[in-house]
Amino acid sequence: MINYVVYFTFLFLGFALAFRVLRTLEIEKYFKKGKIAEINVAYFIISLITGHLLGEFALRVITLFMEK
């Protein structure tokens, strides 16, 4: 149960952090003008992948230290 709490906590934190960082990077300049939906989907997918990786990393670190 603790594994789910750790994973989803870091998933949400990583998602929020990555989304905020991506907004400041202004990746809109790499897309064609007027492609707002595609830009938002790219923000979402990149943030979700980053959050997942952060959650998996935290989960592996915690399970590493919990093993006896």
pLDDT tens figures, 17-28: 999 998 898 888
């997942």: which residue's tokens? 52
Q: How far apart are the first and last CA of the chain?
A: 18
Band (pLDDT 50/70/90 cuts) for residue 29 is: confident
Average pLDDT over residues 36-65: 92
Least confident segment among 7-11, 17-21, 32-36, 53-57: 32-36
Which long-range CB contacts under 8 A does 31-38 form with residues at least 24 apart?
none
Residue 22's domain comprises 2-66
Phi and psi at residue 34, to the nearest 5° = 85, 5
Q: How many domains does the chain have?
A: 1
Average pLDDT over residues 26-38: 83
pTM above 0.85, yes or no: no
pLDDT over 80 (residue 68): no
